[in-house]
């Protein structure tokens, strides 16, 4: 990959562009983007360092690897606009639902393709970047692109049949964790902690708990047991969570999406 082009420069594209350029894996002179609102695009270009392009066709001509980062419902018309110009190039799509199988209906066979599902924590370099197993990138090209995406978080290849569930847990999960942050902060405020302190304490507690699990590789139940002393306070809280169906509520929050 020499030149990278973003179609769309919204929240997710900005998170990726910032991570890619900041890492030094690609220089800002080799990153281009197009979005319809040119004033907004130029303002983002000044902030992030990429070169703005005036049309989607100019963008595709300038890049050998293109990231489709507009909204899913806009893709069909964008592809029509590009026509044959993607031939011989690599297309990485981050649009929800637009996987390898779906693109087969729209792309020439000489367009190399990869579907990647990011999530919002990529904005702070702590995302989950799911790479669909079915793809048509060259092996070394895919490796290079995975390395590039890893500058914004944890990269994981996922079987095509599991992209839906994995993307649901990692993509919707941040909203569910945000509710948990709010709820525990409310509890802290209820007993006298300042609200501004409460969010910081709870978010850091969740960040630390996740990091402890990731770094030790311990089963979460063991980490939970380690905090629950006999007849202690934590086991009383665990009992209350179980009585109120916490575990079931988490599973159901995914069931309603997967149905
Ligand atoms: N945000 C997430 O959590 C998340 C997670 C996983 C995947 N994704 C995927 O990432 C993609 C972008 O999401 P987002 O949250 O970044 O959306 P967003 O902030 O609304 O950005 C959409 C971008 O697309 C541009 N755009 C609109 N019409 C276009 C066109 N005809 N041609 C080219 N660009 C066009 C917009 O430009 P203007 O502002 O100039 O109109 C904007 O820069 C979506 O497909 C979404 O499914 C998002």
Which CATH number do you get for residue 217?
A: 1.10.3730.10
Which residues have CB under 8 Å from 30's CB, separation 6+?
A: 2, 3, 4
pLDDT at 83 over 90: no
pLDDT at 14 over 90: yes
pLDDT at 225 over 90: yes
Q: 0.75 exceeded by the pTM?
A: yes
Q: State percent of the chain over pLDDT 90.
A: 98
Question: The domain containing residue 42 runs over which residues?
Answer: 4-158
Give the Å distance between the CA of 123 and the centre of ligand 1. 14
What confidence score (pLDDT) does residue 247 get?
97
Same domain, 171 and 116: no
pLDDT at 148 over 90: yes
Tokens read off for 92:
């990485």
Which residues have CB under 8 Å from 206's CB, separation 6+?
A: 177, 180, 181
Give the Å distance between the CA of 192 and the centre of ligand 1. 41
Average pLDDT of the segment spanning 94-106: 95
Average pLDDT of the segment spanning 3-10: 98
Question: Which one of 11, 12, 79, 176 would you pick to mutate in the ligand 1 pocket, going by the greatest count of ligand atoms within 8 A of its CB?
Answer: 12
The residues pairing with 154 across neighbouring beta strands, listed in sequence order, are: 128
Same domain, 248 and 126: no
Q: How many structural domains is the chain composed of?
A: 2
């Amino acid at each position: 990959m020499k030149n990278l082009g973003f179609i769309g420069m919204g929240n997710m594209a900005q998170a990726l562009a910032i991570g890619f350029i900041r890492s030094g894996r690609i220089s800002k002179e080799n990153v281009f983007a197009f979005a319809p609102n040119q004033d907004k695009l130029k303002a983002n270009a000044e902030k992030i360092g990429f070169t703005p392009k005036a049309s989607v066709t100019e963008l595709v001509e300038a890049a050998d690897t293109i990231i489709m980062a507009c909204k899913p419902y806009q893709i069909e018309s964008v592809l029509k606009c590009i026509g044959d110009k993607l031939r011989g190039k690599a297309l990485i799509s981050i649009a929800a639902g637009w996987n390898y199988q779906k693109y087969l209906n729209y792309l020439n066979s000489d367009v190399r393709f990869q579907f990647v599902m990011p999530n919002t924590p990529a904005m702070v370099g702590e995302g989950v970047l799911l790479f669909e197993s079915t793809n048509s990138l060259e092996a070394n090209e895919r490796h290079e692109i995975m390395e590039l995406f890893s500058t914004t978080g944890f990269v994981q290849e996922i079987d095509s049949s599991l992209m839906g569930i994995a993307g649901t847990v990692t993509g919707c999960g941040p909203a569910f964790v945000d509710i948990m942050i709010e709820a525990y902060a409310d509890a802290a405020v209820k007993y006298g902690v300042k609200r501004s302190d409460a969010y910081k304490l709870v978010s850091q507690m969740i960040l630390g708990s996740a990091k402890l699990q990731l770094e030790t590789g311990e089963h979460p139940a063991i980490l939970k047991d380690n905090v629950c002393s006999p007849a202690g306070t934590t086991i009383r809280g665990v009992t209350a969570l179980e009585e109120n169906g916490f575990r079931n509520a988490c599973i159901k929050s995914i069931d309603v999406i997967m149905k």
